[in-house]
Structure 1
Amino acid sequence: MTAKSQTASRFVPAIFAAVLGLALITLTGHVQAAALHDAAHDVRHATGFPCH
């Protein structure tokens, strides 16, 4: 492996994580609080985590 490909292979996961994080923050910042709460509540029930 060349030095250039090693450097690129290190940055790809970091860039992907940054884009994913920014998208998550942007989307959750624009959704209504009730919809976000309902989605989290449904996920808790779907995974079997007690929330009541």
Structure 2
Amino acid sequence: MQSQVTHLPVAARQVGRLSQSLMAMSLGLFIVGVVGFSHIDVIHNAAHDVRHSNAFPCH
């Protein structure tokens, strides 16, 4: 059985890493923004309790 290996150009790998990094940062900022500024008390309080349980200062 023969296998074929395709090598991507360096530019394609860098674009892939960049897009993954940007998507991860966007997701993180979205989650922090939604939870941090949520007017729904259940969501905000759950995040607040998690921050305290991880010894992360929040106020």
Give, in whole Å, the separation in 2 of the partners of 1:31 and 1:37: 6
User: 1:25 maps to which residue?
Assistant: 32
Kindly report structure 1 stretches of 4+ aligned residues shifted beyond 4 Å: 37-40
Identify unmatched segments of 5+ residues in structure 1: 41-52
Paired residue total: 40
Larger radius of gyration: 2
TM-score (norm 2): 0.52
Question: 1:6: Cα distance to partner?
Answer: 1.1
Identity of aligned residues (%): 22
Identify unmatched segments of 5+ residues in structure 2: 1-7, 48-59
Does 2:4 match 1:4? no
Q: 1:13 aligns with which of 13, 17, 20?
A: 20
